[in-house]
Amino acid sequence: MKVVVQRAIDAKVEVNNKVVGKIDKGLMLLVGFTHTDTSKEIDWMVNKVLNLRVFDDENGVMNLSLLDVKGDILSVSQFTLYADSSKGNRPSYIKALGGSEATVLYDEFNNKLREKGVLVETGEFGAEMKVSFTNDGPVTIILEK
């Protein structure tokens, strides 16, 4: 499981020119799964994302988590995180988990985040999405389990 975590002032995702997910202050997540991912990796990632100290405290030091600042999450499925471009110029996505299996894990991930009391907005799995956000910092961290 890979997640690109980006601290955001705002974020939204559109499908067919319609906003389907939108947040203000929080985290923009790009989420990808591979064939060996299970609930164990999801549980680890949920804990890591929620407790990652990437928000500034009163002294301007990144010492606060999403839970501390009561931020929201925009979670967007992103199979291309598992692209392999080591051979040639056309990436291979063989390491990415297929749609039906990945959908189950993606839903589980988002639901477990929600169970922790966080507002989680999402894109539309498998759709052509337009994602826009304002990266705050910029802060971008890649997590992998």
First to last CA, the chain: 5
Q: Residues 36, 40, 43, 47: is their CA dihedral positive or negative? A: negative
122 a catalytic residue:
no
**Which listed residue (6, 34, 78, 122) is catalytic?**
78
Contact (CB, 8 A) for 131 and 80: no
Contact (CB, 8 A) for 65 and 113: no
For residue 10 the two structure tokens come to 């705002």
78 a catalytic residue:
yes
Q: How many CB atoms lie within 10 A of CB 90?
A: 7
Q: Strand pairing partners for 120?
A: 73
**Which listed residue (6, 34, 55, 79) is catalytic?**
79
**Which listed residue (38, 80, 134, 140) is catalytic?**
80
6 a catalytic residue:
no
Name the residues annotated as catalytic. Answer: 78-80
